[in-house]
Structure 1
Amino acid sequence: MNRLIIFFLCAFFFLERVFPQTKNLSSTLKSMLESTQLRSSLVGAKVVNSKTGKTIFELNSDKLLHPASTLKLFTTAAALHYLGKDFSVKTEIFLDEKRNLIIKGNGNSLLRTEHYETIAQKIIQQGIKNIQHIIIDVSYFDDNSWGKGWMWDDEPGASAMHISPLCVNGNVVNVIVTPNKVNEKPFVELDPRTSYFTLLNESKTVSAIDNRFPLFEVTRKWKERENIIVVKGQLPATSLKDTFSVNVWKPEFYAGTLLKERLNVGGVQITGEIKRGTSENSKKIFLLSHPLDSLIHKANKESDNLSAECLLKILAAEKNSIPGIADSGIHLEKIFYSLIGIDTSNMIIADGSGASDYNLVSVNHVISLLQYQFKQSTFKSFKESLPIAGVDGTLKNRMKGTHAEGKVFAKTGTKRGINSLAGYIEKRNGEVISFAIIINHFSGEIKTLRKIIDAFVLEITK
């Protein structure tokens, strides 16, 4: 009898210690999200124990919200599920009987100028001296280079790049600007230097800004669908050298032009033009390859929209049919979500990156995905693709120097009036926490939302 009394007393004191902590945490988190700063905003949040699945806190967990780039969690998880971590993305080089050089893109968003230099060197090393046409094979994707629900006025921003199976430099070009003497045009150069663009420098270096005249701007004639880079307005003479980035129209021809220019430098004579075609009935001479993990890391760590959109279309091309179509990839994603217990009847997925304002998910959807991934053999790879607080990616400068540094692995999301964060927290006591927070309809500065979300995460991490 005494033993039984002692047992119940111990159990009582244990529960008194544990459950008040959980209750207090829940109350604290609720108070944080009911602050006056968020009074006119819509907030959804959920926190669960990853190992037990027990809910620690939830608020508006069924409300549909715009996730912004946290949607990339869904895209990358589906890519891992369908394609497997050993899948690789290839860029193939062919030569046909008419000495046409064919470069076939299969959605490798990681290709840079240096990769095209490598391709040129390999062609030269094979003793190829004369080429008729450079043929761009982009048959792996459909011709729709713009995501559903993307804003027209996001052009020509670097994050609103045009999608193509043949990519280079993230399908953007860098414009480097340095002030000149007062009343002189600033120095402007493109990186990489290429003939694919026309550069119009209509700007002026000034001693002081005159509000009667336009401010400094670097843009592209995107309404005309032309690759004419325009630099205009007033640049203060005290400005530092700066780099601006704009997206590129028809990036596959950008890639083809860079390849042609590097072949020319290497002494290869090209008598024809750069044009579209296919690699049918051609001999493959070599290929470049990147593992799937590298695209997933790029999409999640750096929140790279191009990588996420390419993954969506690769999924469609590999598991449905060529050409890869975004809607087909989304259909496959929803099948996967249903298989893991996510109710897809009330979620809207419009793209792979989260750039579309059509996307609507709840934090319940996000937590269900995170919980599923936690139990998979690919979890380590998935977790390591996420930004780490205070360490790398889009969380490199957040929660730095706090007890959350190095302990929070989470995908960020940012758009006008939207901020979100979702992922995992590794606590000092060995617990792993899955969490998701999405805030919509905020009219203030985004940095204010980030501070609120960081404080929310820090409270959980204690």
Structure 2
Amino acid sequence: MFSASACFRFLAGLALALFAASAQAVALPGAFTDALRQAGIPLDHVAVVVQPVDGGAPLLSHNAEAALNPASVMKLVTSFAALDLLGPDFGWTTDVWADGPLADGVLHGNLVIKGHGDPGLTLERMWLLQRDLRARGIRRIEGALVLDPSAFELPEADPGAFDGEPLALYNATPGALVANYNATTLRLKPDGQQVGVAPDIALPGVELVSQLAIDERAPCNGWKEAIEPTAPPDGRPGVVLSGPYPRSCGEQTIALNLFGPAATFDRIFRGLWAEGGGTLTGATVEGGAPDGPPLLQFASEPLTVALTRMNKYSNNLMARNLFLTLGAAAYGPPATPDKGARAVRAALGRHGIPTRKLVLENGSGLSRIERISADALNRVLLAAYRSAWFAEFESALPVAALDGTLKRRFNGSALAGTAHLKTGTLRDVSALAGYVDGADGRRVSFVMLVNHANARRSEPAQRALLEWIEAGGRQAGGGADGIR
């Protein structure tokens, strides 16, 4: 039984907590809460933290401890851990062995390639890798192409499990050997009443079928979303493209996730090798790398370049490969998702960032289960600001109205060029986090997470809150104190 005094203290404490919560809600800018109301998003489905990076208490803090899905804003956490553990100059290698005698430009044996997860092996860099092989005297390969993906140990994964879109590039699965973000690029070109489809790189044995219907009147808006790619009905590797295609679009390209990482790597390597005049007579097989030093260790671009591509354009495959790389760097190969999660948690722990509510699946935010609180995200931003590599961290983020996923947002606003923010969008999730410079020159960290069926309607609220910050916090309604 409670004593009378204990009951009084409990009720007084409860009243104080409710008053504080009420005062906190009142402190939110009126334009922000009005925008949420118009969008049909209740305040208890929103978390916000705004805090000066140079110290002091948060200027706004609402629902900050709630564990919410951050969508691609989770890439901030992976980026922070990567810079902390690996450093800005970290690089991957792709190792190549000539497993047999080499004479007069002919390799009488297998070419063996082992990847370590380089997420930035684009077509251009694959061409440079092959150029380095030719510089070492290889023109003709009379054995097999042996691919060694053993640096990553991954469970079987269905690329369509997330949302039933297995051919969407954002669903590409990670791999120790990944080329061109696992994208197969197809060129579409109207020809009379047909739309021709051709691969950017030759794809022998791959079935490409166009059932696209020419639309004579439609403007070239949203044409990619109108195309429906499906697997061929005969089970052969390839794709069938159907749907309307505006003639006004002319020639366009579309990138799809048609194959697993190793299969895509194989097709791109062979296609580029043939384009360069080389020959490769054997089959492609999976196998282990031989003992001894490789003929070539092809170095990636530095981590900072990977982070810029990953965050500016929200590349999920790059984030997933980086997440796995962290696990291997911290706990030894082979990389696994569990090691990656442990490495990220350890990095946050070293900076006193709470991880009790952190849920990690792949580090990219392409997940229904990943969770983090706005408070923890804000602490990541503040810890990054205090670090020696803050310039690299911030410069990798999209800039409002200028580039990346923010290029077409906040145009015509004073926010243009003043905010570095990572975006995040999933069904029922909209998130934004990063740094904002106010008109008075003061910089703040910013986190806003929305988990609600109407989350996609939260952009006006995001804009209202950011404009309040940019203006110095003096345009608040409902009693907000503003930024001082």
Aligned to 2:64: 61
Of 287-296 and 232-241, more deviation after overlay is shown by 232-241
Aligned to 1:259: 269
Q: Distance in 2 between matches of 1:222 and 1:77?
A: 42
Q: Distance in 2 between matches of 1:102 and 1:338?
A: 39
The answer as to 2:456 corresponding to 1:454 is no
The answer as to 2:259 corresponding to 1:249 is yes
Q: Distance in 2 between matches of 1:69 and 1:51?
A: 26
Aligned to 2:425: 414
**Displacement after TM superposition at 1:220 (Å):** 4.0
**Displacement after TM superposition at 1:227 (Å):** 3.3
**Displacement after TM superposition at 1:225 (Å):** 8.3
Of 261-270 and 371-380, more deviation after overlay is shown by 261-270
The answer as to 2:97 corresponding to 1:86 is no
Q: Find the partner of 1:161 among 157, 165, 172.
A: 172
User: Does the CA-based 8 Å contact 1:48-1:54 persist in structure 2?
Assistant: yes
Q: Find the partner of 1:28 among 13, 18, 30.
A: 30
Aligned to 1:173: 184
**Displacement after TM superposition at 1:69 (Å):** 0.4
The answer as to 2:52 corresponding to 1:49 is yes
Aligned to 1:231: 241
The answer as to 2:128 corresponding to 1:118 is yes
**CA pair 356-60 structure 1, distance change in 2 beyond 3 A:** same
Q: Counterpart of 2:274 in structure 1: which amino acid?
A: N
Q: Please list every run of 5 or more consecutive structure 2 residues that lacks an aligned counterpart in the other structure.
A: 1-23, 101-107, 219-224, 472-484
User: Does the CA-based 8 Å contact 1:408-1:423 persist in structure 2?
Assistant: yes
Q: Distance in 1 between matches of 2:454 and 2:179?
A: 36
User: Does the CA-based 8 Å contact 1:70-1:412 persist in structure 2?
Assistant: yes
Aligned residues: 432
Q: Counterpart of 1:307 in structure 2: which amino acid?
A: M
**CA pair 40-180 structure 1, distance change in 2 beyond 3 A:** farther
Q: Distance in 2 between matches of 1:145 and 1:405?
A: 43
The answer as to 2:402 corresponding to 1:391 is yes
User: Does the CA-based 8 Å contact 1:253-1:274 persist in structure 2?
Assistant: no
SS of match in other structure, 2:353: coil
Q: Distance in 2 between matches of 1:355 and 1:186?
A: 33
Aligned to 1:130: 140
Q: Distance in 2 between matches of 1:427 and 1:206?
A: 47
SS of match in other structure, 2:307: helix
SS of match in other structure, 1:278: coil
**Displacement after TM superposition at 1:68 (Å):** 0.4
The answer as to 2:107 corresponding to 1:105 is no
Q: Distance in 2 between matches of 1:73 and 1:356?
A: 15
Q: Distance in 2 between matches of 1:281 and 1:224?
A: 42
**CA pair 43-24 structure 1, distance change in 2 beyond 3 A:** closer
User: Does the CA-based 8 Å contact 1:109-1:310 persist in structure 2?
Assistant: yes
Alignment of 1:228-307 (within 5 A): 228-235=238-245, 237=247, 240-286=250-296, 287-307=298-318
Aligned to 2:389: 378
**CA pair 225-458 structure 1, distance change in 2 beyond 3 A:** farther
Of 448-457 and 51-60, more deviation after overlay is shown by 448-457
Q: Distance in 1 between matches of 2:322 and 2:138?
A: 33
1:120-168 Cα distance to aligned partner (Å, 9 max, x none): 2322232224321111121111133649995151311111112112112
Q: Counterpart of 1:353 in structure 2: which amino acid?
A: S
1:318-350 Cα distance to aligned partner (Å, 9 max, x none): 211211111211112112223322332222121
Q: Find the partner of 1:198 among 200, 207, 219.
A: 207
**CA pair 238-375 structure 1, distance change in 2 beyond 3 A:** closer
**Displacement after TM superposition at 1:242 (Å):** 3.3
1:350-389 Cα distance to aligned partner (Å, 9 max, x none): 1211010101111111111111111111111111111111
Alignment of 1:209-224 (within 5 A): 217-221=227-231
Question: Alpha carbon RMSD of aligned pairs, Å?
Answer: 2.8
Aligned to 1:309: 320
User: Does the CA-based 8 Å contact 2:91-2:299 persist in structure 1?
Assistant: no
The answer as to 2:40 corresponding to 1:38 is yes
User: Does the CA-based 8 Å contact 2:31-2:461 persist in structure 1?
Assistant: no
SS of match in other structure, 2:89: coil
**Displacement after TM superposition at 1:38 (Å):** 3.5
> TM-score normalised to the size of structure 2?
0.82
Aligned to 1:330: 341
Aligned to 1:187: 196
